[in-house]
Amino acid sequence: MMTSTCPALLIAAPASGQGKTTVTAALARLLARQGRRVRVFKCGPDFLDPHWHQLASGQPVHNLDLWLNGEADIRARLHEAATNSDLILIEGVMGLFDGEPSAADLAVKLGIPVLAVIDAGSMAGTFGALVHGLRHYRPGLPWAGVLANRVASAGHEKMLQASVLQDDLGAEPVGIDAGWLGALHRDAAFSLPERHLGLTVASELPDAMARLDALADALASTPLGQLVAAGWQRWAVPFHAQAERPVAPLLQGRTVAVARDAAFCFIYPANLDVLRALGAKLVFFSPVADEAVPDCDAVWLPGGYPELHASALVDGIRCRASLTAHIAAGKPVWAECGGMMPLFDGLTLADGARVPMWGLLPGEVAMQPRLAALGPQQWDTASGELRGHTFHFSLTTSPLAPVAQTVPGSKFGRPEAVYGQGSVRASYFHAWFASNPDATARLLLPEAA
């Protein structure tokens, strides 16, 4: 077993919307500006927050989920990061104890201290009670401290700090050792814009880096932001990893074309790593820019926002024609969620307008006013269990009988259909390729292979 030690924090909150992503990205940007090698990870199957963290840190961002990845995969990723980094930051998901497994489960299992971010905009003394509850609700939870977000004034900050610094015996410890890591004051310039699936992708905003720099500047004045390298060692964590299992080069000599642009941007960097480990050569193209499918053996259409770029996609004559020819030649296509939506006959947008799409699969897709499905899923393929998740605001109706159904990883979930026609396989299911590289390869190989 291999071991590497590195300071690490798991940045969590009592609920979504408290500012976890903002603080994680700001801290990553601040540390990167200081010349420190910082790696950021995101708990849960999230595509959007990692865009901001990658921009802030300058490093690829991988997802960590005990159900999706498995513990061995998580340990291997953190061990690799610890070997090559000065600091590791992990953004939690939802509230600290929400989900099965939760961010707290990950913190306890790996011994990673928790930094709680709490929106303090409408509280004073209750802030301390909330901190106390988060810290002590689960025995054995490693704890670093709390950072107050959206604080109204200097006086408000003092009240919040006082509520935290009173321990059970009435003593008043001071400084970062007491768990008070500072406050970010309310400022409209600090907000990261959102839309229906979450944060706006950082690459779509020309001022994205300026927003991160403003946040980093604000964080620099807090006790957390003023820590020097030696101070971070209080949160040093040993990360252990076992030898990795080799991946069979099932895609050796084959080229996989991946759609990648503003409409098809839900791509785990780890998934690209798996394809390369399988031996595939990767080439990229933009359907939004009407680029033809490159010369390839298989196509992957990942998820994203086709509904925001529907007019460009329907006008893309070269892309549609080349994809049609690819399918007619019997070459595989794997389409996930947003990558699946343009394949059908039409897409009805949120305003009720119907846009004719590519007509490569029979059926209609319609955007919904509310979230249609969310949660972990697994696909029991002929090559074993392939894990992933579902997260979509649209529904599909098709005369096609599903070739398979996924199995929800939660008792509250529902199965997702896997549609098949010719060489096309399509589903709302987002696959985590590392959970089963063999099954992944089969998605991108002709059925006779």
Is residue 236 located within the same domain as residue 385?
no
Strand partners, 149: 119
The tens-digit pLDDT sequence of the chain (449 residues) is: 789 999 999 999 999 989 999 999 999 999 999 999 999 999 988 888 888 899 999 999 999 999 999 999 999 999 999 999 999 999 999 999 998 899 999 999 999 999 999 999 989 999 999 999 999 999 999 999 999 999 999 999 999 999 998 644 344 545 566 699 999 998 755 555 554 444 555 455 567 888 889 999 999 999 999 999 999 999 999 999 877 788 999 999 999 999 999 999 999 999 999 999 999 999 999 999 999 999 999 999 999 999 999 999 999 999 999 999 999 999 999 999 999 999 999 999 999 999 999 999 999 999 999 988 889 999 999 999 999 999 999 999 999 999 999 999 888 889 999 999 999 999 999 999 999 999 999 999 997 44
Its pTM stands at 0.89
Residues 17-44 as b/e (b if ≥16 CB within 10 A, e otherwise) read ebbbbbbbbbbbbbbbeeebbbbbbbbb
Asked, for residue 305, whether it belongs to a domain, the answer is yes
Q: Which of 6, 43, 296, 337 is catalytic?
A: 337
Locate 157 and state its tokens: 């900050």
- CATH number for the domain spanning 26: value is 3.40.50.300
Asked, for residue 449, whether it belongs to a domain, the answer is no
Is residue 402 located within the same domain as residue 435?
yes
Rounded CA-CA distance 308/349 in Å is 9
Is residue 91 located within the same domain as residue 223?
yes
Is residue 9 located within the same domain as residue 137?
yes
Strand partners, 185: 151
Contact 253, 27 (CB under 8 A): no
Asked, for residue 323, whether it belongs to a domain, the answer is yes
Catalytic: 337? yes
Is residue 178 located within the same domain as residue 284?
no
Is residue 236 located within the same domain as residue 260?
no
Is residue 275 located within the same domain as residue 312?
yes
Q: Which domain holds residue 427?
A: 255-443
Q: Are strands 255-259 and 404-405 parallel, antiparallel or unpaired?
A: unpaired
- Of 86, 90, 22, 28, give the one whose Cα is nearest residue 56: 28
Is residue 80 located within the same domain as residue 218?
yes
Query: Which residue shows structure tokens 């007619």?
Result: 328
Is residue 151 located within the same domain as residue 224?
yes
Rounded CA-CA distance 57/51 in Å is 10
Asked, for residue 190, whether it belongs to a domain, the answer is yes
Domain end point (choices 209, 241, 273): 241
Which three-class secondary structure state does DSSP give residue 36?
A: coil
Is residue 289 located within the same domain as residue 413?
yes
Rounded CA-CA distance 184/190 in Å is 9
Asked, for residue 55, whether it belongs to a domain, the answer is yes
- CATH number for the domain spanning 345: value is 3.40.50.880
Is residue 309 located within the same domain as residue 210?
no
Is residue 163 located within the same domain as residue 35?
yes
- Of 131, 130, 159, give the one whose Cα is nearest residue 143: 131
End-to-end CA distance of the chain: give it in Å, rounded: 37
